[in-house]
Amino acid sequence: MLLQTDYDHENRQMCPGPAERSRADARRAQILAAAVDCFRQHGFHGASIAQISKAAGMSPGHIYHYFENKEAIISAIVAGDLERFLILTSEIRSACNVREAMLDRVAEGIDQCLDHQTAGLKLEIVAEASRNPHVAEIVRSADKVCRESLMLTMRDMRRAAGHEDDDATLAAMVEVFVSMFEGLQIRTIRNPGIDRSVVIPLFQHSLRALLDQTP
Amino acid sequence: MLLQTDYDHENRQMCPGPAERSRADARRAQILAAAVDCFRQHGFHGASIAQISKAAGMSPGHIYHYFENKEAIISAIVAGDLERFLILTSEIRSACNVREAMLDRVAEGIDQCLDHQTAGLKLEIVAEASRNPHVAEIVRSADKVCRESLMLTMRDMRRAAGHEDDDATLAAMVEVFVSMFEGLQIRTIRNPGIDRSVVIPLFQHSLRALLDQTP
DNA sequence: CATTCTAGATCGAACGCTCATTCTATGTTA
DNA sequence: TAACATAGAATGAGCGTTCGATCTAGAATG
């Protein structure tokens, strides 16, 4: 939803149907998929429009019908990435036993962080955010939403266990919680031989200690 | 020591003295400092030789007297970065009470990870390693040394507390341990408003749980 | 001590290339 | 026919890198 220039031009007689409503949206998705591929392989600045256009099966010039410039493609990818993350957190939040749902899904989260391709692009995005103010703003505002969602989740979880924490403590819990996962993205680059099956139980142990801590 | 082409040409009557022995080494350091600055601001591929040469106060061509090409500059920075990390871990290892030394230095480590400038460059390096095989090799071989050093440290620490762990468990402990710190580097970009004074005690709590765990 | 020599230090213009972006012409579709 | 889709060449800027010319400081020479 973010960053989608309203471009609907009457929208094909009311059928928002099958994920790709208009030809324009299909082309847009096609470009984004190709760009993700290229950015993974060469980085934001290493990948050229020529490469992306070749991967997307169209001419370089044609890309500019759908995106204002290269940075707009980057922004769209970042926005899509974070939209997906928001969906994940809202899924966790809607589970009946949130604490167990969280711990159960740790393995899934770890596997996602350990995926080399995914991790590479995520790191590329953060590195870009550390110097590109426009990307930084997208990343930070979405991160804020994610943190707030996680804070609410944790407050419920802690209340159910009889703890009442102030906001600062909850925020810190969220930071440490997220740190561990995001750190794994770096780990998988620096040590591709990491053994997931041994890391998972340790991870769960540490998370339990974090979530159950008494101040 | 790494990446220093033997370039001594008789070395000024035997005085390896004050950190910068020859003029060439001084220039080299000057270029590296300027490059670090530029890379932080624009990334490895966003920063140009022209920019770096201006920041270093010399002509573009002159840089090529000291570095074969741009990637050699990147490699030198990565190598220097990791050399410093190795010094840090060896310092921790040589403390008398290693466990307490480690927990004491958590705050220091956190502050370092939370430094926006440092974190930005570290992330740039990892992102580059995720696609540049040459950088990846430097990063991974140094990471291996660091992990081995940390494993030995942890084994001693755990033995002193009466635990005997196998290598896989120790390796996993190291991974989770390092994950938490490296994750902070991402956190400080995604949420610059992070409150260190609340995060530190939580961090220490979680680390204690990790280091003292009974299998 | 003055002069010449020389080799490294340094410069900055020039090269060839690739980039992001633009523009015009043509194809397609309804 | 009208509006949009698409191609691909053109543009100009900027890139990493090379190269020949100049500068400089100390060694060699007288």
pLDDT per residue as tens digits for the range B9-51: 333 333 333 334 578 889 999 999 999 999 999 999 999 999 9
Q: What residue of A is the nearest CA neighbor of B183?
A: A183
Measured CA to CA, the distance from residue A48 to residue A39 in angstroms comes to 9
SS3 of chain A: helix, strand, coil, percent, to 5: 75, 0, 25
| B195/A contact by beta carbon, under 8 A | yes
User: How many Cβ pairs closer than 8 A exist between chain A and B?
Assistant: 174
- In B, residues 125-154, which contact A (CB 8 Å cutoff)? 126-131, 136, 139-140, 143-144, 147
**One CATH from 3.40.50.80, 3.30.420.10, 1.10.10.10, 1.10.10.60 for A11-67:** 1.10.10.60
At a 7 A CB cut-off, the residues bordering strand D are A 9, 23-24, 27, 57-62, 65; B 47-51, 60-61, 64, 69-71
Contacts 24+ apart (CB under 8 A), B152-156: B152/B93, B153/B89, B153/B92, B153/B93, B153/B98, B153/B102, B154/B211, B156/B98
| A45/B contact by beta carbon, under 8 A | yes
Q: What's the token pair of residue A54?
A: 């070749």
- In B, residues 88-127, which contact A (CB 8 Å cutoff)? 116, 119-120, 123-124, 126-127
Tens of pLDDT along chain A (215 residues) come to 333 333 333 333 333 333 445 888 999 999 999 999 999 999 999 999 999 999 999 999 999 999 999 999 999 998 898 788 788 778 877 887 878 888 888 898 999 999 999 999 999 999 999 999 999 999 999 899 889 988 988 998 899 899 999 999 999 999 999 999 999 999 999 999 999 999 999 989 998 999 998 86
Measured CA to CA, the distance from residue B40 to residue B115 in angstroms comes to 12
Q: Give the largest Cα separation in chain A, rounded.
A: 61
- Report the predicted TM-score, pTM, of the whole model to 2 decimal places: 0.87
Q: Which fold has domain B71-215?
A: Tetracycline Repressor; domain 2 (1.10.357)
* The pLDDT value given to residue A3: 31
Residue contact B178–A194, C-beta within 8 A = no
Q: What's the token pair of residue A163?
A: 């703890």
Residue B62, amino acid: H
Q: What residue of A is the nearest CA neighbor of B181?
A: A183
Structural domain boundaries of chain A? 11-67, 71-215
Find chain A residues with C-beta within 8 A of B189's C-beta. 126, 129-130, 136, 139
> What confidence tens digit (pLDDT) does each residue in B152-162 have?
888 988 998 89
